[in-house]
Structure 1
Amino acid sequence: MWCIAPKEDAGFVCQMEAVLDVYKRPFDAEYPVVCMDETTKQCTREVQKPIPASPGQSERYDGEYERNGVAHLMVFYTPLESRRTVRIADNHASGEWAEGVRDLVENQYPHAKKITLVMDNLSTHSGASLYRTFEPAVAHALMQKLEFVFTPKHGSWLNMAECEFSVLARQCLDRRIADVPTLTKEIAAWQTHRNENAKPADWRFTTDDARIKLKRLYPKVSCC
């Protein structure tokens, strides 16, 4: 779903064009572009045992279910490599984000000179979260390897990681999953299959397109 900002929003178009500039960059293993997003999944247990499928009849489920906790999902997606890592936790605290970023820097891209991280401007998505979680030397070292680029408010459609969550929802999460261990196993299988088979992203919406199709968002400037 596209959430469009009010008319003539200079802040929106400034951040939008910053993201679109990042998406124009060619692939460079030393300077990867990674998109990050978060969502949740409600785990639910069946109250009545499902009736297995039979000839001429699909499997049937009862409408009643039992809530069994909420899992917090965080994805780090490198569109030009078609590579994604989904982390699963029981909360969305700043420490969880910080641990994900540390894994990204130290384990996924240990040889990168600079990682550009595209994400929304949530309060936990900041260098402060790194300093709240790690010793100053560790937090500082991580910050030296990172460039933050934030999508504008009402502009989540600009984050390619959101597209990955949409695919995950359709291919893996569109059913009842009883508990977090089962969810973790299912997502791990999806992640492996998609990393091995999905093609790199082909983002085609450019700044030139934005200035035409979203012209109403650009402030009207009087030339002297």
Structure 2
Amino acid sequence: MDGRYADCERITLICDNLNTRTKGAFYEVFPAERARQYVRRIEFVYTPKHGSWLNVVECELSCSTRQCVAGRRLGELRLLQEEIATWSGDLNARQRGVDWQITAEDARGKLKSVYPKIIL
């Protein structure tokens, strides 16, 4: 926030629901005044607890690490980018889906609190 985003008036931070991703965590790490300055600039957006797209991303990153780069030293960024591009291209060509273990009807009931309320 003091580096790359120093000139940003407001920052949107998309978080999963891990308990460390709270405003209070800033107060544990920084002096109160500095923590308050940071927190005032951040808009915290939390993903749903279950069925989150963030879960999918975390799974994909884990798979790419294990299947593509684990145990290897890639000395150049260009080489890493090529390896990841090849791996993800092969994976995307298979059009693999996510096998959620919840029905759409159950999800609507359990996740209704995260959907916006539309008033007509």
* TM-score, length of structure 2 as denominator length: 0.54
Q: Which amino acid aligns with 2:68?
A: Q
Give identity over the alignment, percent. Answer: 28
Aligned to 2:47: 151
Query: Among residues 83, 107, 112, which one is paired with 1:217 in the alignment?
Result: 107
Shift in CA distance, 193/151, structure 1 to aligned 2, threshold 3 Å: same
Q: Distance in 2 between matches of 1:125 and 1:119?
A: 7
Q: Counterpart of 1:142 in structure 2: which amino acid? A: Y
The structure showing larger relative contact order (alpha-carbon pairs under 8 Å, at least 6 residues apart) is 1
Partner of 2:98: none
Pick from 29, 43, 68: which aligns with 1:171? Answer: 68
- Which aligned pairs between 1:98-109 and structure 2 lie closer than 5 A? 105-109=1-5
Higher-Rg structure is 1
1:139: how far off? 0.4
Aligned to 1:123: 19
Check whether the contact 1:119–1:151 (CA below 8 A) recurs between aligned residues. yes
Unaligned runs of 5+ in 1: 1-104, 199-212, 220-224
Q: Indicate the structure with greater helix content.
A: 2
Per-residue deviation at 1:138? 1.0
**Ranges of 4+ aligned residues in structure 1 off by more than 4 Å:** 188-194
Tell me the distance in 2 between the aligned counterparts of 1:166 and 1:116: 25
Tell me the TM-score normalized by structure 1: 0.32
| 2:3 aligned counterpart, secondary structure | helix
Question: Which runs of structure 2 are paired with 1:46-195 in the superposition (5 Å)?
Answer: 105-156=1-52, 158-159=53-54, 161-162=57-58, 165-166=61-62, 168-169=64-65, 170-173=67-70, 175=71, 194=81
Report the aligned-residue RMSD: 3.4
Give how far 1:216 is off: 3.7
On the 8 A contact 1:172/1:190 being kept in 2, the answer is no
SS of the residue corresponding to residue 132 of structure 1 reads: helix
Residues 140, 189 of structure 1: alpha-carbon distance in 2 compared, 3 angstrom cutoff: farther
